[in-house]
Structure 1
């Protein structure tokens, strides 16, 4: 991973083991050139604002965050599409969530969001799990030059069923941080929503309410035997799911928590 902000640092073996043990949240930042994607990424990772950067540079950065008292390794892909989605597979299959950015003082950047939203919506339609998507109006500090109203941004996000925010990468770190942390929370909610609790099956042995006349079975030696079924199956699972359930394992299952994701603090470049 290269660095926009200095020389890359090679993490120690201890740090590598620490990072590998953290849950990950991959976020792709999308939008037209000049919308402020890189400025948002840098503001979140370093608390600094940059006005000049290479618009053709695409890179992925990692930061250890703590969201709601839970750590997570947040990986941010700052994409470098010019004015239209290109080779989208590189981030569609990688990202757990998407942030689509436009500039409130540039209507063209707002209109350029729709192809990204269309591609993401189509991808999610065929995906097994939902991925949170945020539409973000950037450069709120340019309010006097606004070309896209807040109502228009909200309307576009509502059309797709996505979330909507307006921020300023130039002025407000807390709002920018809130967006990335909210992405983690949404990813966590989706993970918990798709956590399946396996049902328990109970086998009861009790006399049948309606006794069946004994069946006569002949043996090879001419003797006969009477049989009477007394086992009543309340619910029989497939063989692969049948297990012996003890009180201890049931309590353990009741305390099992769904997997969660959280973010990182401190800029880490590899």
Structure 2
């Protein structure tokens, strides 16, 4: 992977000014400041308490910003990281920045690579295998940048077919503030995004911060959804309801043996009173019921010489 050029944004020279950006390489390793306090991980975005215990690392999400020169990739990156708009950048510099974000109440370590392709997506191996999601940017007032997005989308589609893994892709029309000079209609952007199966947004790096933040957070959401879809399905076991079979325990066997012995003793010994068998119980019940019916039956005695009215 080619080495990525490192830059640091600084304010006007003064005794109290300090570096506003801690750059890092494409593999995620941050440039370490050997002396002085630890610098911020983002363009002046304070990260108080960023040190976390090693046993609970944050989930990481790598996003690569692609597009032709002048599309506004660096302006979008800085807008998202600092809420500020800077119009001029060095088009030959490529940086990777790290920001701790909270997306849907879940923290994530978001790494953004601001790419600088000299001649389109020719040397793209450095970010194809690194990024989890891609933002393909064009300018709505530049038809050439829109046509350049087709080449980037073609490269991403071929890469997805080759590795059999689809990374989320978002097509982004930038410079919405240049509506009066628009050369690419919104319908064209929607049609191109539909052709390649990616999301489509139109934003402005110099206007609303919430719209820019929503695009980056939506990229994180798409990465999470793709991770959930790629998880292997767990086998589903359906329990069949069957009648429970009573297992004979030693206590049950002892009880049954005791009842059998009692029955034999009752038949052989008259004076030994024990629990009768089922047949004996029925016989005793019938005899007792007959005796009771005989006792309760009304009797009438007729004597000679008496009349009954």
TM-score normalised to the size of structure 2? 0.62
The verdict on how the C-alpha distance between 1:20 and 1:129 changes in structure 2, with shifts beyond 3 A counting, is farther
Which of 155, 168, 171 matches 1:135? 171
Greater RCO, 1 or 2 (C-alpha within 8 Å, sep 6+): 1
Q: Distance in 1 between matches of 2:64 and 2:135?
A: 6
Please list, as runs of the form range in 1=range in 2, the aligned pairs for 1:36-47 lying within 5 A after superposition.
Answer: 36-47=72-83
Change (3 A) 1:83 1:165: farther
C-alpha separation in 2, matches of 1:129 and 1:87: 20
Rg comparison, structure with higher value: 2
Distance of aligned partners of 1:167 and 1:197 in 2 relative to their CA distance in 1, 3 Å threshold: same
- 1:197 Cα deviation from its structure 2 partner: 3.8
Match of 1:5 among 2, 9, 18: 9
State the shift of 1:82 in Å: 2.8
Is 1:175 aligned with 2:211? yes
State how 1:1-270 maps to structure 2 within 5 Å. Answer: 2-6=6-10, 7=19, 8-9=21-22, 10=32, 11=38, 15=51, 17=53, 21-199=57-235
Question: Which digits, 9 at most, give the CA deviation of each residue in 1:8-59, with x for residues without a partner?
Answer: 5445997275698000100000000000000000000000000111110101
**Which residue pairs with 2:297 in the alignment?**
none
**Secondary structure, counterpart of 1:126 in structure 2:** helix
- Counterpart of 2:217 in 1: which secondary structure? helix
Alpha-carbon separation, structure 1, partners of 2:118 and 2:177:
24
Partner Cα separation in structure 2 for residue 42 and residue 19 of structure 1 = 31
Give 1 or 2: higher strand fraction: 1
Structure 1 gaps of 5+ residues are 207-270
Alpha-carbon separation, structure 2, partners of 1:15 and 1:157: 39
Q: 2: CA distance between counterparts of 1:81 and 1:194?
A: 31
Q: Secondary structure in 2 aligned to 1:34?
A: coil
Are the equivalent residues in 2 in contact too, given 1:83–1:112 (CA < 8 A)? no
* Separation in structure 2 between the aligned mates of residue 149 and residue 64 of structure 1, nearest angstrom: 35
Offset at 1:127? 2.2
Offset of residue 198 of structure 1: 3.1
Q: String of CA shifts for 1:142-198, please: whole Å, max 9, x gaps.
A: 000001000011111111111110000010100000000000000000011112243
When the two structures are aligned, how many residues end up with a matched partner? 205
In 2 relative to 1, CA 199–46 (structure 1 residues): closer, same or farther, beyond 3 Å?
Answer: same
Deviation at 1:131, TM superposition (A): 0.7
What are the ranges of 5 or more consecutive residues in structure 2 without an aligned counterpart?
11-18, 23-31, 33-37, 40-48, 243-309
Q: Aligned to 1:77, what secondary structure does the other structure show?
A: strand
